[in-house]
Amino acid sequence: MTTTAPARPAPGSRRPGRIAAASMIGTALEQFDFYLYAYFAAFFVGPLFFDPLGPAGSTLASFSTIAVSFVIRPVGAILFGHMGDRLGRRATLLWTVSIMGVATGLIGLLPTYAQAGWLGAIGLVVLRLAQGMSLGGEWGGSVLLATEHAHPVRRAFAAAIPQLGSPIGSILSAALFLVLPTLLTEQAMADWGWRVPFLIAFPLLLISLYLRRTVEETPEFARLSREKRRERMPVSELLRSRPLALVLAIGAAQLGIGSYALMNTYTMNYGAAVLGFPYTELLTAATIGALLQLVTVPLFGALAARTSSWLVVAIGAAGTALIALPMYALLGSATFGVLVAMMVIGGILPTMSWAALGGLMADMFPGRFRASALSVAYAVAATVSGFVPLLTGALGGLTGQAWWHPALVLIALSVVTLAAAIGAGRMGRLEA
């Protein structure tokens, strides 16, 4: 009887830098899509695809296409979370990033209402559903790829690395929408220039696939496979054995995800349509804030590794609740400098909760259904956050666009995350 030696991992497949890049690239593409579509929805979707609905109706329809991709995320989370716990983290991430990249690129090929009537709008909704499905499993798998390759002492820091995808995606998408109008006329942007950022998803997808194919499966999943300890129905086991932990994980994610939807989608539209800011100033301010996060996310991850993830999430939530009202009070009369300061200060504290979120969640669940747990928790939280622009807009209408209406939403998100983080910390102490 002969045996075959196990295949050696590809050269460099266990290098920390390559693992970090592979975990981060998918979330960067995810956030590139999110911010790209957020800016696109705020300024272009309504006139291009929903023009017959009028200004107010087309704006609501464009924000609804944001919500559509969030609604389907829990379905994708169950599917890809199951695959992550049964087939492996790496293999699942190859599927999620492929679906996401192809769907994003195809949006750039859609016909507008003027070209094909409602056909383009239907295609847009279908592609947003495909994006939402893939995104349901992308974030959780990326965090696990980073943390399950890391030393236990450094897992909280490793969990922060995929979170860098958020500022990277924001910077790339905003830079495109800042640069293109300087190169193209307004008519050219409306005719074809808006397609360019979406088509860039195709080369980004090729880079993502290359990086992920060169990284081997995580040691923890390999051990579970060897010991035949993989769950047959991981989501069912999650709901049976850790329902409270799942609720706390969903709550802890509200600020980290919801604040981006509020500030980078709703506030962009509100600032341009109601307060009269040029959208280039809004995008520039958001980009400056995102550049700062390239530094603060790793720092907050290192802080979480030295203290605890739940504490960093809680501090970020408490601080955000305290600054929300003063920040939006200044917005109505802000100069460009104040606008930048708002994006910087308003971004630092929610970033604390965002940077430590992956570490908090990874600590709460055992490896045998951790992919399902992180994917479902993040997807449900993202689904709620997908309605933040719509709900904030409705609140603005009810209050006559009172300056404080976005601040109330930000405070609500902060309070939920603060309570959930404290609950997660208490649960961890009880289990220790």
What tens digit of pLDDT does each residue of 33-75 get? 777 776 676 667 777 787 777 777 777 777 777 778 878 889 9
**Distance between CA atoms of 408 and 59, rounded to whole angstroms?**
22
| Residue in the block written with tokens 């920040």 | 327
- pTM, rounded to two decimals: 0.84
Q: What is the pLDDT of residue 16?
A: 65
Query: Residue 105 pLDDT > 50, yes or no?
Result: yes
pLDDT digits (tens, 9 = 90+) for 146-201: 888 888 878 899 999 998 888 888 788 778 877 887 888 877 877 888 888 889 88
pLDDT digits 0-9 by tens, 257-285 = 888 778 777 777 777 777 777 777 777 77
Task: List pLDDT tens digits, range 220-240.
Answer: 888 988 888 888 899 999 999
pLDDT > 90: percent of the chain: 30
Burial 381-402 (b: 16+ CB within 10 A, else e): bbbbbbbbbbbbbebbeeeeee
As a whole number of angstroms, the distance between CA 186 and CA 195 comes to 14
In the numeric block, the tokens 């601080």 are attached to 319
Q: What is the pLDDT of residue 11?
A: 40
Closest CA to 358 of 168, 98, 150: 150
